[in-house]
């Protein structure tokens, strides 16, 4: 839910070249719009399509608004689209960059909105505990590092589990950057290799291999990478093959996720065919973007939508449940839900403008200064050695 760093239309490059870093030109605005649609789908699922929302509405969503529930109950698939977009954008924004630049860009992108969101969610749960339990302060502090889950510490907000999946993707992708930088060949090998290792990890049932290669979500990240490579270098059989293999594995994984989700939300009526069709549509849309058919779409509001997506995602669940509970007696219920989404978007805009942007600017400057100082110290040590 986080990869929004530089999305650019890039000139086609020879496949053997690393290519320059992305130029600062027109954005791929459709990616920004897709990101917000994915976030809205997840928000509608949490607030109106899952069993735990009953505490906020004081009634099961399937009873509160049965027609809308039948759609919202599939909103969890927005996460799969998030991961595809992340694969596309992370590969794009990393091209031509050093591992240090990659690391700094991820820190600047992830934490300026995340830190205040953790504190906001903690405060909301402490004073209006509709869904969730307030964690001890030592666990809240560890949450600020995004390393809480491997330490067995729960998330302050349940939706933050996707951030740990993203971080594991970043760590794997950093291996390619460390290995003499990105080229088409190395990135393709990485994609095929990750899919194969993910399959082996799932078959072995080894917890460590599963943790590292996350077979459930690898096909979506890799698909995004494949579509970026098609966008950058043009159509190529090995690239479409990578996208096709990712799609085949994604079909299986989506059905597996649906079965687990059916158990979690206590709804045995979820149809695996719907999940397969929706995920296939994700692949079709990303393919259309990859070949450049949406390049003319440059609506300014899409860029605004992309900027709001991450802070909106970070606050939508905990804050959203509290807002729903406070307004649930109003009618009609669908209008209440739409109003809550609107309030969350406004709060996300405030978080972005008043906290995330200024803090990101400061953090970026400090990290670049620290990196420059480190290089200067290393140079002096080599000179005096």
pLDDT tens per residue, range 256-312: 999 999 988 888 889 999 999 999 999 999 999 999 999 999 898 998 999 999 999
pLDDT in tens, 86-115: 999 999 999 988 889 999 999 999 999 999
**Residue 190 token pair:** 């990485």
CA gap 284, 81 in Å, rounded: 11
Q: Is 376 exposed, middle or buried (0-12, 13-18, 19+ CB in 10 A)?
A: exposed
User: What is the reported pLDDT for 20?
Assistant: 43
| CB distance 215 to 201 below 8 Å | yes
pLDDT one-digit tens code per residue, 194-214:
999 999 999 999 999 999 999
Q: How far apart are CA 30 and CA 289, in angstroms?
A: 8
Give the pLDDT band (50/70/90) at residue 377.
confident
pLDDT at 322 exceeding the cut of 70: yes
- Tell me which range, 23-32, 45-54, 165-174, is most confidently predicted by mean pLDDT: 165-174
Pair of tokens at residue 230: 């098609």
The residues spanned by each domain of the chain are 29-377
DSSP H helices in the chain? 29-48, 54-57, 61-64, 66-72, 78-94, 99-127, 137-143, 161-178, 184-204, 207-213, 218-233, 237-264, 272-290, 300-315, 318-327, 333-351, 357-384
**Could you report the per-residue pLDDT of 238-258, keeping only the tens digit for each?**
999 999 999 999 999 999 999
What value does the mean pLDDT take over residues 52-71?
90
What is the SS3 assignment for 210?
Answer: helix
Tens-digit pLDDT profile for residues 150-180: 999 999 999 999 999 999 999 999 988 888 7
For 20, phi then psi, to 5°, come to -75, 165
> What are the CA-CA distances from residue 216 to residues 68, 84, 220 (Å)?
28, 13, 9
Residues 188/242, Cβ–Cβ less than 8 Å: yes
């Amino acid at each position: 839910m986080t990869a929004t760093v530089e999305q650019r239309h890039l000139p086609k490059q020879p496949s053997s070249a690393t290519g320059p870093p992305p130029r600062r030109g027109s954005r791929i605005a459709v990616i920004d719009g897709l990101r917000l649609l994915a976030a809205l789908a997840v928000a509608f699922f949490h607030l109106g399509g899952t069993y735990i929302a009953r505490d906020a509405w004081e009634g099961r969503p399937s009873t509160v608004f049965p027609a809308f529930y039948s759609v919202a109950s599939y909103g969890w698939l927005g996460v799969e689209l998030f991961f595809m977009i992340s694969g596309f954008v992370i590969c794009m924004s990393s091209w031509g960059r050093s591992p240090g630049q990659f690391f700094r860009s991820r820190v600047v992108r992830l934490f300026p909105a995340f830190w205040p969101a953790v504190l906001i969610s903690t405060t909301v749960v402490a004073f209006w505990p509709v869904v969730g339990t307030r964690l001890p302060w030592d666990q809240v502090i560890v949450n600020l590092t995004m390393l809480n889950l491997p330490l067995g510490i729960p998330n302050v907000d349940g939706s933050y589990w996707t951030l740990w999946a993203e971080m594991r993707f970043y760590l794997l992708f950093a291996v390619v950057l460390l290995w003499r930088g990105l080229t088409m060949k190395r990135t393709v090998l990485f994609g095929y290799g990750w899919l194969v290792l993910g399959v082996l990890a799932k078959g072995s049932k080894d917890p460590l291999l599963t943790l590292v290669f996350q077979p459930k979500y690898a096909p979506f990240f890799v698909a995004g990478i494949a579509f970026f490579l098609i966008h950058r270098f043009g159509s190529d059989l090995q690239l479409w093959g990578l996208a096709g293999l990712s799609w085949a594995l994604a079909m299986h994984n989506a059905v597996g996720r649906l079965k687990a989700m059916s158990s979690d939300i206590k709804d045995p009526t979820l149809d695996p065919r719907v999940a397969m069709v929706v995920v296939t549509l994700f692949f079709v849309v990303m393919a259309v973007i990859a070949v450049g058919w949406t390049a003319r779409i440059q609506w300014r509001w899409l860029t605004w939508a992309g900027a709001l997506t991450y802070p909106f995602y970070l606050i939508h669940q905990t804050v959203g449940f509290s807002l729903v509970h406070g307004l649930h007696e109003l009618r009609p219920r669908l209008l209440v839900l739409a109003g809550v989404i609107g309030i969350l978007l406004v709060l996300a805009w405030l978080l972005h403008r008043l906290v995330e942007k200024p803090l990101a600017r400061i953090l970026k400057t400090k990290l670049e200064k620290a990196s420059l100082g480190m290089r200067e110290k290393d140079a002096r040590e080599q000179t005096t050695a």
